[in-house]
Amino acid sequence: MTEFLQQIINGLSLGAIYALIALGYTMVYGVLRFINFAHSDVFMVGAFVGWAAVEKLHIPTGTIGGGLLVLVTAMAVCAALGMLIEKLAYKPLRGRSTLTVLITAIGVSLLIQNVAQNQRIGFGPNPKPFPEVFPVRQIHLGELTLSSNQLIVIAVAAILLGALYWIVHRTRIGTAMRALSFNSTAASLVGINNNAVISFTFALGSALAGAGGVLYAMNYPSIDPLMGTLPGLKAFVAAVLGGIGNLPGAALGGLLIGLIETFVSGTRFSTYRDAIAFAILILILMFRPAGLLGKLKAEKV
Amino acid sequence: MPPLSQRWLLAALALAWVVSAFSGRMDAYFLDVAMGAGIAIVLASSLNLINGFTGQFSLGHAGFMAIGAYTSAMITTALGPKLGWSAPLQQWLLFPASLLAGGLLAAIAGFAIGAPSLRLKGDYLAIVTLGFGEIIKVLLQNMDSVGAARGLVGVPSYTNLFWTFGAAAVTVYAVWGLVNSTYGRGFLAVADDEIAAEAMGLNTTRYKITAFMVGSFFAGVAGGLYAHLKGYLNPSGFDFNKSIEIVVMVILGGMGKHVGVIVAAVLLTVVQEPLRQLGDFRMILYSLILIILMITRPQGLFTWKTRKKVEPA
């Protein structure tokens, strides 16, 4: 029983990170109807900004305030990066076929990865140790052992999800986002500035990915330029599992994928943990293509 | 365009044979690049059937290439010596048989992957094929019988100009003939408008799976040629970047354009040699080409006339 609870905590803290990334995929899909391949690399950049904030800008580590500052820096830089990507690469393609945008997104993803891997203009290909940005303690609850980092991940993710919910449902710009994803033509007819809303959506999604990057790096000892690929793919699966374009679905999907992966790691199938996400993806797409919370729309001809 | 005649195929094969007969006098470096270009034509033309003519988007072509490469290399290295055949017999009988076996296994894999996932559209299919490509790479890295992550060494170098350009000619002939046949019009119909094609009574899933299997078959053959050209195989050589290289050839040449894609395949292989000096900057350049092409010339570099296409409202 203790082990079971322990695994639940581990799974939740991993799943919370997947949820943060998955939200970015699902929001962009909501407004633009395409999969932003470069999202997983924004996540990677988030981790590297966190690293640079400590190593180059000397933000104090080991304190709550310093840790939050690192987190906010990463979110701000990633938000700017997300808007930049959208402006330079995706905006010129408005209204073109999905395939065109998809190929561009793959190009952007490769570009970020290879620039980051480059020794001269990026971070270099070697893994770097990630500093302890938050104070690390082991907390004993009965027989359970929790690391403070896990609790911070869950708490930060919960706060960010709450903030996102508030932005999307209680603010003007959030309402505009929902209107746009419902019907973009009608949204622009009632005076919504589609370009501004899309830009904002990218900023929001990328900020969440940036926070996810720092939180992910905290629980893993080192970071490298290709670290985004696998969590990115799993988060994408999470978004599809919950129903792509559906915000609560993405959060739910992220938590589920995190839990399933943690439980599989605990069994003798642990070497297949990375293949699990793909198996899940194929199963959902075959049996419930709209995802757990999504609604299937009939295609109009 | 009318289908290429059988005479064309025979002429191309004969030409490959004649040129190959003189290959002893050619510069070894030139030969290596030329054979690389021939393999690139096979890869790009076969992917063009899937991504260009049928309008699906596969990102796992390197995975099928890997299946073919490992299958044919295992046949010639493990089975070859046991047969006790003479050297010419091995190169002219066992080697083509191993290429066919590699292609068939890749086609079977293509069916296994395509059947469940080809019900998906555009971006979903891209992600699933990407995932499968990675899974094939990881499986090979864990298979000790094929050298795992250390790679497979000592593959005999049977590949010559005749085999590479023969395979390239057959691929181009097959793809050209397929999409210009009465049956093959269905591929274009699926690419143009899947719903309309289905409403006309075409079995769109079957067309997609056929394209996928034929494309995978030739990718497998190309893999076998590649294995017997380099003499050494490593799973990491068949990663996502390799798939992207083939995708760039198809996009640069123009999706669904025969000649453009062949030109792009040759061009990119030849240009790669001077680009090697760039080292790490090569992939940066590739990704930039991809983005800029998509924004400015999504129809490809060598395309001037495009089929008129009405965007759905």
Q: Determine the residue of chain A that is closest to B142 in CA distance.
A: A271
What residues of chain A lie within 8 A of the CB of B119, using their CB? 285-286
State the average pLDDT over residues A195-221. 93
Give the distance between the most distant pair of CA atoms in chain B: 65
Could A110 and B286 be called an inter-chain contact, meaning their C-beta atoms sit closer than 8 Å?
A: yes
State the average pLDDT over residues A109-115. 91
How high is the pLDDT of residue B296?
A: 86
Model confidence at A31: pLDDT above 90: no
How high is the pLDDT of residue B12?
A: 81
How high is the pLDDT of residue A257?
A: 92
Q: Determine the residue of chain B that is closest to A290 in CA distance.
A: B120
pLDDT classification of A192: cutoffs 50, 70, 90: very high
Buried b vs exposed e over A44-55: b needs ≥16 C-beta within 10 Å? Answer: bbbbbbbbbbbe
Determine contact, residues B190/B54, Cβ cutoff 8 Å. Answer: yes
Which phi and psi angles does B183 have, rounded to 5°?
-60, -45
End-to-end CA distance of chain A: 54
Q: Determine the residue of chain A that is closest to B240 in CA distance.
A: A110
Tell me whether A94 touches chain B (CB under 8 Å).
Answer: no
CA distance B194 to B285: 34
State the average pLDDT over residues A24-45. 90
Model confidence at A67: pLDDT above 50: yes
State the average pLDDT over residues A68-80. 95
CA distance A38 to A44: 10
Token duo for residue A114:
């290879």
Q: Which long-range contacts (CB under 8 A, 24 or more apart) does A162-170 make?
A: A164/A23, A164/A204, A164/A208, A164/A247, A165/A247, A167/A204, A168/A247
The label of the residue with tokens 């970071």 reads A223
What was the ipTM of the complex prediction? Answer: 0.81
How high is the pLDDT of residue B313?
A: 45
How high is the pLDDT of residue A20?
A: 94
How high is the pLDDT of residue A144?
A: 81
Model confidence at A142: pLDDT above 70: yes
State the average pLDDT over residues A259-265. 88
Give the distance between the most distant pair of CA atoms in chain A: 61
Instruction: Identify which has the larger pLDDT, A248 or B303.
Output: A248
Determine contact, residues B178/B187, Cβ cutoff 8 Å. Answer: yes
How high is the pLDDT of residue A173?
A: 93
What residues of chain A lie within 8 A of the CB of B57, using their CB? 99, 102-103
How high is the pLDDT of residue A138?
A: 84
Tell me whether A281 touches chain B (CB under 8 Å).
Answer: yes
Minimum-distance CB partner of A98 among B123, B135, B295: B123
pTM (two decimals): 0.82
How high is the pLDDT of residue B1?
A: 54
User: What is the DSSP secondary-structure string of chain A?
Assistant: -HHHHHHHHHHHHHHHHHHHHHHHHHHHHHHH-S--TTHHHHHHHHHHHHHHHHHTS----SSHHHHHHHHHHHHHHHHHHHHHHIIIIIGGGTTS-HHHHHHHHHHHHHHHHHHHH-TTTSS-SS-EEPP--S---EEEETTEEEEHHHHHHHHHHHHHHHHHHHHHHHSHHHHHHHHHHH-HHHHHHTT--HHHHHHHHHHHHHHHHHHHHHHHHHHSSEE-TTTTHHHHHHHHHHHHHH-TT-HHHHHHHHHHHHHHHHHHHTSTTGGGHHHHHHHHHHHHHHH-TT-SS--PPPPP-
What residues of chain B lie within 8 A of the CB of A301, using their CB? 195-196, 199
Instruction: Identify which has the larger pLDDT, A80 or A232.
Output: A80
- Per-10-residue mean pLDDT of chain B, 313 residues long, equals 72 81 76 88 92 86 92 85 75 84 93 78 76 81 76 80 87 88 87 87 88 93 91 84 86 83 87 75 82 83 59 48
